[in-house]
Amino acid sequence: MDFNTAVQFHGHICPGLSIGYRVAVLAADHFKDRSKDEELVAIAENRSCAIDAIQAINGCTCGKGNLIFKDYGKHVYTYLKRGDKKALRISLKPDALPQDEKHNALFAKVRAGTANPDEAKKFRASHEAISQRILEMPGEELFWVREVEIESPEKARIYPTLICSKCGEGFMEPLGRVRNGKIVCIPCFEAKNE
Ligand SMILES: [Zn+2]
Ligand SMILES: [Zn+2]
């Protein structure tokens, strides 16, 4: 459970990854488990860099179906053991990371591609400093953590494969559509008339 594992997986150091790492370690300590067999499930309420730390550290991944997204744009992470209602809800405190105007202005420039090399360097330095601060902050200053009860999310299901009558590619049965009386995949269903 080393931060470098998460950095390697994600490709860079950033505040989002640091937040995800702290969340992942908290959850791992609580459940004392790396999810090898889909046991530990994470429900993330955002799609940010933080998710990659959760995948790398907790082994909760999109592919295995034990990482579930709710696109609420919130740094809230709920963990549970499959089949158990007792969950751990970890929520980033809104005032945990004070807004840094200078940093935000640099970030905007870097994103827009208008930062000069000096500004880009300054941005990277403060980006990493913030990331480092998150790694070192006491947990209780970063997060609200509480135990909650939730309905266990459904296990990733396996479906038969159907063959699209238009493109000939296979797809999961419940995602089939009917077009002109024939079974097709969603892209073929949505394609403009040929
Ligand atoms: Zn990142
Ligand atoms: Zn098709």
Please report where in the chains the tokens 């105007």 appear, as a residue.
Answer: 101
Calculate helix-pair angle for 101-112, 117-136, nearest 10 degrees: 130
Comma-separated ranges of CATH 3.30.1330.130 domains in the chain: 3-96+137-149
CA dihedral 96, 97, 99, 100 (to 10 degrees): 150
Measured CA to CA, the distance from residue 144 to residue 5 in angstroms comes to 25
pLDDT tier for residue 100 given thresholds of 50, 70 and 90? confident
CA–centroid distance, residue 182 to ligand 2 (Å): 11
CA–centroid distance, residue 158 to ligand 2 (Å): 20
Q: Strand runs (DSSP E) across 45-193, as ranges?
A: 67-69, 76-81, 86-92, 143-149, 161-163, 170-172, 177-179, 182-184
CA–centroid distance, residue 174 to ligand 2 (Å): 14
Q: Which ligand is nearest to the CA of 16?
A: 1
CA–centroid distance, residue 54 to ligand 2 (Å): 34
CA–centroid distance, residue 156 to ligand 2 (Å): 23
Which are the contacts of 15, defined by CB distance < 8 A and separation ≥ 6?
49, 97, 127, 130, 131, 134
pLDDT at residue 192 is higher than 90? no
Q: Which ligand is nearest to the CA of 191?
A: 2
To the question of domain 161-190 being in CATH 2.60.40, the answer is no
Q: Please report, rounded to a whole number, the percentage of residues in the chain having pLDDT higher than 70.
A: 94
Q: Which ligand is nearest to the CA of 165?
A: 2
Measured CA to CA, the distance from residue 11 to residue 17 in angstroms comes to 10
Q: Which two tokens stand for residue 106?
A: 């640099």
Fold of 3-96+137-149: 60s Ribosomal Protein L30; Chain: A; (3.30.1330)
**Per-residue model confidence as pLDDT tens digits over 13-49:** 999 999 999 999 999 999 885 555 558 999 999 999 9
Comma-separated ranges of CATH 3.30.60 domains in the chain: 161-190
Please report where in the chains the tokens 């931060």 appear, as a residue.
Answer: 3
pLDDT tier for residue 157 given thresholds of 50, 70 and 90? confident
CA–centroid distance, residue 46 to ligand 2 (Å): 30
